[in-house]
């Protein structure tokens, strides 16, 4: 049986950074954000449901979903965000479980699931243990504004649409402190892999 470890945190807290470290070591990381992009590609069931719910004005000229436009709607409106989640999340879960089965069939010992909304969406049943990538509020805001070229207000709206990172850290089996250098984060990741006896 493949071991499934959950990797979560807040927006821009460093999950992809940790994912890169795990992948460098040969681990399979199943990424919910990547799955969420795949299941809304043109022609997919969720694609049509999104157009029904949000209208054709959220499409780009090539008919794909304009993610910036959809984001501008859902990060400022909780009920719209819930509507989008109801459409997209079941398809994301199916896609992730399929990828897990593929990894198991390929003989993998461990897979990580990078799920930003693991706690919000009550998905802990999908994983055996949870690691939370943590940063303090100021660092999160600064890194998010820089990475996505967002105003402070836009960045705060995204942060506010998630459970506070401090609450996630309290619930975690283990916390990776990503406030400092990438090297220090890497050391913590290596320590956890040893402690939990994980191999790819």
Ligand X SMILES: Nc1ncnc2c1ncn2[C@@H]1O[C@H](COP(=O)(O)OP(=O)(O)OP(=O)(O)O)[C@@H](O)[C@H]1O
Ligand Y SMILES: CC(C)(COP(=O)(O)OP(=O)(O)OC[C@H]1O[C@@H](n2cnc3c(N)ncnc32)[C@H](O)[C@@H]1O)[C@@H](O)C(=O)NCCC(=O)NCCS
Task: Summarize the annotated binding site for ATP as residue ranges.
Answer: 12-17
Distance in angstroms (rounded) separating the CA atoms of residues 5 and 126: 9
Q: Does 154 bind ligand Y (CB under 6 A)?
A: no
Pair 49, 33: CB distance under 8 Å: no
- Give the rounded distance of the alpha carbon of 44 from its chain centre: 21
Instruction: Decide which of ligand Y, ligand X, none touches 49; Cβ closer than 5 to 8 Å per partner kind.
Output: none
Annotated binding site: 12-17
Which long-range contacts link 48-57 to residues 24+ away (Cβ below 8 Å)?
49/87, 50/84, 50/87, 50/88, 53/83, 53/84, 53/87, 54/80, 54/84
φ, ψ for residue 145, nearest 5 deg: -60, -40
Tell me how many residues contact ligand Y (CB under 6 A). 18
Rounded to a whole number of angstroms, the minimum distance from the CB of residue 41 to ligand X is: 19
77, two tokens: 């409106």
Chain residues 121-150 in contact with ligand X, contact rule CB under 6 A: 143, 147
Rounded to a whole number of angstroms, the minimum distance from the CB of residue 68 to ligand X is: 14
Which of 4, 5, 6, 15 touches ligand X (CB under 6 A)?
Answer: 15
C-beta of 6 vs 14, nearer to ligand X: 14
Q: Does 167 bind ligand X (CB under 6 A)?
A: no
Rounded to a whole number of angstroms, the minimum distance from the CB of residue 146 to ligand X is: 6
Chain residues 13-32 in contact with ligand Y, contact rule CB under 6 A: 32
Distant-in-sequence, close-in-space partners of 6: CB < 8 Å, separation ≥ 6:
112, 113, 115, 118, 123, 124, 126, 127, 129, 130, 131
Nearest Cα neighbor of 115 from 125, 104, 102 is 125
Note the residues at the interface with ligand Y (CB under 6 A): 11, 32-33, 36, 67, 70-71, 74, 81, 84-85, 88, 92, 116-117, 158, 161-162
Note the residues at the interface with ligand X (CB under 6 A): 9, 11-17, 116, 143, 147, 178, 181-182, 185
């Amino acid at each position: 049986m493949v071991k499934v470890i959950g990797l979560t945190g807040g927006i821009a807290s460093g999950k992809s950074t940790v994912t890169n470290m795990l992948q460098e070591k040969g681990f399979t990381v199943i990424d919910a954000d990547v799955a969420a992009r795949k299941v809304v590609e043109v022609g997919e069931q969720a694609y049509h449901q999104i157009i029904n719910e949000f209208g054709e004005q959220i499409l780009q000229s090539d008919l794909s979903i304009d993610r910036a436009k959809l984001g501008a709607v859902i990060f400022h409106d909780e009920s719209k965000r819930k509507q989008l989640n109801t459409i997209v999340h079941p398809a994301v879960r199916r896609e992730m479980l399929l990828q897990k089965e593929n990894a198991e069939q390929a003989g993998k010992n461990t897979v990580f699931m990078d799920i930003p909304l693991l706690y919000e969406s009550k998905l802990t049943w999908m994983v055996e243990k949870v690691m939370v990538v943590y940063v303090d509020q100021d660092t999160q805001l600064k890194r998010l504004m820089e990475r996505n070229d967002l105003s402070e207000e836009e960045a705060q709206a995204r942060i506010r649409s998630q459970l506070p990172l401090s609450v996630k850290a309290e619930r975690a089996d283990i916390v990776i402190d990503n406030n400092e250098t990438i090297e220090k984060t890497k050391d913590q990741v290596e320590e956890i892999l040893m402690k939990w006896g994980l191999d790819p």
